[in-house]
Amino acid sequence: MDKHEEVLIALRQIIRAIDLHSRKLNKDAGLTGPQLVLMRAIRDSGEKVTIRQLSNNTNMSQATATTILDRLEKRELVVRERSKLDKRKVHAHLTEKGIEVIAKAPLPLQDSFVSQYQDLDDWEQSLLLSSVQRISSMMKAEHLNVAPLLEVGSITQQETTTEQ
């Protein structure tokens, strides 16, 4: 087998692993990866957090975070409230149902990856980063603006198709 074929197989295996994990998450918790990441960010940020803070903490646009929150709120997993001190701010917090759902959900796939990646020596982290960036460039994908989530499809596309 040629080396280029081995690279393409490895890329396909990565895509497949992400897809399988996404399906497991949806089956086990009824959530998409971005939904889980946003809910965990709400939990980790304390009792109430603004949409802007969530957006910054998850590297999602405010519009994407709002779209995801709309769906989570419909499912009664999250509640948004206007701040009593500053009416311009809206805070989000998990409901009891939301807390239960995220407690049962598997960890996002990137958590395992990040842990293993951080265990590598600096030179190996740089080598991997450089190689993956080169692959992204070769696929004309370096200009795409994406969050660091291991999910199949775009966040807003996935939210639309998953929730309908």
pLDDT of residue 160: 39
In tens, the pLDDT along 127-157 reads 999 999 999 999 998 887 776 666 654 444 4
Q: How many separate domains does the chain show?
A: 1
State both tokens at 128.
């991997």
| CATH number of 47's domain | 1.10.10.10
State which residues form the domain around 95: 3-163
In tens, the pLDDT along 83-135 reads 788 878 888 999 999 999 999 888 777 778 888 999 999 999 999 999 999 99
Please tell me which residue, 60 or 73, carries the higher pLDDT value.
73
Q: How far is CA 13 from the centre of its chain?
A: 19
17-49 exposure pattern, b = at least 16 Cβ within 10 A, e = fewer:
ebeebbeebbeebebbbbbbbbbbbbbebeebb
Q: Which of 16-20, 22-26, 81-85, 139-143 has the lowest mean pLDDT?
A: 81-85
Q: How far is CA 36 from CA 18, 58, 84, 141, in A?
A: 15, 11, 27, 25
Q: Among residues 50, 26, 64, which one has the least CA distance to residue 155?
A: 64
What average pLDDT score do residues 7-30 get?
A: 89
Q: Running DSSP on this structure, what letter comes out for residue 49? A: E
State both tokens at 110.
């990137």
pLDDT of residue 47: 67
DSSP assignments along 30-42, one per residue: S--HHHHHHHHHH
pLDDT of residue 2: 93
